[in-house]
Structure 1
Amino acid sequence: MRGCRNVPRQANYLSLATVVQDFNHVERCKDSLYMGTPPRGIIDNRLKKICQRYADKPRFVTLYDPHKRIPVYSAYTFKKTEGDSRVDYPWMYEPQLAEIDGNGNMMPFPTGYLHMKFEDSQAVLDDYSDVVLYERGHLNPDQHQSTPHDRAATYTLTNVVPEIREFNIGPWREYEERIRVRLNNFCRGTAYIVTGVTTRGNTIRRNNQDRVAIPEDVWSAYCCTEYDRNSPHDVRILFPSHAALAKNSKEGNSVHEMTVQELEMFLKNHMDVDQNLQIFYDNCVSPSPLPLYLQHTI
């Protein structure tokens, strides 16, 4: 019985940490997810759920693969912005992937020696330092955030994947800007975005070791149930949800927009997921604008 008495204390302790057993364990962490619900159907026996905390506040969430040392996806709420140029923020790492202590905040990389246990659990700056083909590609991009703290929080390597430079600064950046303008202009409520990757086994190597998985595809989906229903038809059909998919490559890397269901069909064949994969709770079904007692009349 002594072990049973320790269980509540352990659960409470974990609720303080950044790496959590469930995104709902940390106050306000689930606010980054539509209906407080993460994508379902992802087989995550060894994946880590990170509540990305910066300056003592949860900013977004990431499902992280500590073996491939990249995120599977990051999920966040879109903040309306002017799309101004990026500001230089320090790159950070996630201490909680290596040890459960402290206050759960992401931390800037130290200028000196970083203990080996951190390299075991996540990517570090040295993994990207001598790689000329790849950029550090954000899954939650800073131009989809507005406050300095929310923007700074996107500069953690647990929110980054190696993206081919031509893809990162070309088609994918253009897509992120297109979504920024679309949601700025036509989303009236909160927009929830999930952006992730698929992998095929290619990696960045350092010191003769496989270090960081290189994504084969990059995908994204948004959900905004409160949108401008008077918008033009070609815009209206892109709500309440829509998705996109692209190859992380030098050529043939154009971004294809599609329905979320079409993206899910692709991911079922290219990710470690089951047939119940669903990115957004209840497929981001837009609530009826009519009161309940009138709904049966239409």
Structure 2
Amino acid sequence: MAFWAQKGVLLVSLLTSAVRGRVEKELSPECREFLYMGTPPTGLGHHALQFICQRYNKRARYVTLYNTVDRIPVYSAYTFKRSEGERCLDVPWMYEPQLSTSSDTDEMQPFPRGYIHKNFEDAQAVLDDYSNAVLYERGSLNPDEHQGEPDDKASTYTLTNVVPMVPDFHKTVWSKREHVVRKRLNNYCRGRAYVVTGVTTSGKMIRRENINRIAVPTYLWSAYCCVDFDHNAPYAERYKFPSFAHYGLNEENNEVVEMSVQKLKEFLQRTTFVDQNFQIFVGDCDPPARVKL
């Protein structure tokens, strides 16, 4: 049964551990730069969840909270980069050495050919998990079209940033919403935009060799925060700043629902196991009022 569906689990602690070949007590400053006010979402906690500072080509690229039991990310948090939406076509899928029992690198690596040692499979998804999962396809929480530089785009192609999505929902609903958000932030966000995209689960699993391997998301959700935006934008776009959010049911013939970050927080408190202190952005991305002199 998926971790989020296990009753009796009390999710009360703020996660402050990170994995970089070893468990650390605090996210490093280079990882916190992808989080609004340097603070990850609060109100989540479980021994199976691990922070990954996603590193590629000698640089940190974004942060993922990963469930090593369900073998999917709970969320990925990243900073949006302006782009025309180009996609990477020649990047191999990668795995995360930080989740293996022993590793001499803290950077994501392409899957090696041949047999994957069990210490990879125990804590994360591998390509074989998706090879016969005909009802689902790989969907990235941090999509490459929300990144600008080639290395930032390439870093999104790790299975620790991927969840199983129903193809119809992924291609006709979720990807279109990613495109809408990209255009909105391209046009009206003047400063840095912080994005957190995550999932909820309810027990459905992808199995391989009669073993539960990967949890299938019930809902996908996403929220952004941009406090420096164009106040002269048309009202239809301006009211969606400094923050806005949406979620969608991971099934065929569904649509996304747009809402405020506060409403998304309330929705997640009703539908998944987070505590009453759950918060996606500090203060729901409501910047403190400027002091008048």
TM-score (norm 1): 0.89
The aligned counterpart of 2:215 is: 213
Higher Rg: 1
Maintained 8 Å contact 2:19/2:53: no
**Equivalences for residues 72-221 of structure 1 within 5 A:** 72-221=74-223
1:17 aligns with 2:14: no
| Identity within the alignment, % | 53
Gaps of 5+ in 1: 1-13
Q: State how far apart, in whole Å, the 1-side matches of 2:109 and 2:209 are.
A: 25
**Corresponding pairs, count:** 277
Gaps of 5+ in 2: 1-16
Q: Deviations over 1:180-225 (max 9, x none)?
A: 0000000000000000000010000000000000000000000000
Query: Which structure carries more relative contact order (alpha carbon 8 Å, separation 6+)?
Result: 2
* Root mean square deviation, CA, Å: 1.6
Q: Give the AA of the match of 1:35.
A: M
Maintained 8 Å contact 1:23/1:29: no
Maintained 8 Å contact 1:190/1:226: yes
Deviation at 1:128, TM superposition (A): 0.3
Maintained 8 Å contact 1:49/1:64: yes
Deviation at 1:96, TM superposition (A): 1.2
TM-score (norm 2): 0.91
Larger proportion of helix: 1
- Where 2:33 maps in the other structure, the secondary structure is helix
1:236 aligns with 2:238: yes
Q: Give the AA of the match of 1:113.
A: Y
Q: Deviations over 1:264-283 (max 9, x none)?
A: 11111222210011100121
Q: Give the AA of the match of 1:279.
A: I
Q: Which runs of 4+ in 1 moved over 3 A?
A: 18-23
Q: State how far apart, in whole Å, the 2-side matches of 1:243 and 1:15 are.
A: 26
Q: State how far apart, in whole Å, the 1-side matches of 2:21 and 2:196 are.
A: 19
Deviation at 1:293, TM superposition (A): 3.5
Q: State how far apart, in whole Å, the 2-side matches of 1:101 and 1:162 are.
A: 27
**Equivalences for residues 257-276 of structure 1 within 5 A:** 257-276=258-277
Maintained 8 Å contact 2:19/2:98: no
**Which of 36, 42, 50 is the aligned partner of 2:38?**
36
Q: State how far apart, in whole Å, the 2-side matches of 1:207 and 1:39 are.
A: 35
